[in-house]
Amino acid sequence: MVATASCLEVGLMGTRAPISRHATDGSGAVFFALAEAAPDCVHLAVPGEPGPVVDAVACDVSSVAHPGRLRGLVRLSGPAEIVPHPVCEELLDHLGVVPGAPVAKLVPQTVTLEWGVERRPGEVVSVDPLAYARAGMDALAGWQDEWITHLDQHHRDDLRALVVDELQPVSSLRPVLADARGLVLREYVGTCRRDLRVHFPYEVACGCEAQSALADLVALRTF
């Protein structure tokens, strides 16, 4: 969620600002341009020195337009530091900053998750920072939103056929998430909603495998 967040807000030094681009590394640290988060504090930045405590919020929003588009929030807090020069050129390019501009690195000490897919909305859980740092990327992260948008626009009947025995006749159905284990489809009946998971026949390792797995499911269902 943090690596592929639809948006990221950073709060530090009494200000809060949306960040247009951010990056993460294998430890879960979050990198962002200090000038974007706190332009009034840039002159105080000293590369290699500890910075202020940062509170960041990463939002995960589905690309499929429906009432439950906000899938979850991750809140991260911890000390920031200014990355020593020279900063990796690829990181500078990704963040859209010029060489010499201060880049901040947040190493989370507290992590909380509010996840609304296949869970009760609004339920907040604490995540162990070490477990967060060790977590790997889902195989479809960064790709799945474009795919579920395509499925929603062109294959709604196929999706409905996969779970038709579980649906209310008057319900509407929208894809809300795809991950390495399968699809999550959200059923709406009026203002009520329910999430239904469609399991792939096997855990997938890439988008091509996900498309093949779904095609196999559809073929079996319509056979």
What was the pLDDT predicted at 222?
Answer: 64
The answer to whether residues 68 and 158 belong to one domain is no
* Predicted confidence (pLDDT) per residue in 100-146, tens digit: 889 999 999 999 999 999 988 778 999 999 999 999 889 999 999 99
Predicted TM-score (pTM) of the model is 0.86
Round to whole Å and give the CA distance between 214 and 183.
9
Asked if 213 contacts 183 with a C-beta cutoff of 8 angstroms, the reply is no
Average pLDDT, the chain: 91
Q: Domain range spanning residue 101?
A: 7-134
Contacts of 194 (CB under 8 A, 6+ apart): 186, 187
The answer to whether residues 82 and 152 belong to one domain is no
Asked if 5 contacts 19 with a C-beta cutoff of 8 angstroms, the reply is no
* Predicted confidence (pLDDT) per residue in 43-57, tens digit: 777 887 777 889 999
Count structural domains, the chain: 2
What was the pLDDT predicted at 123?
Answer: 87
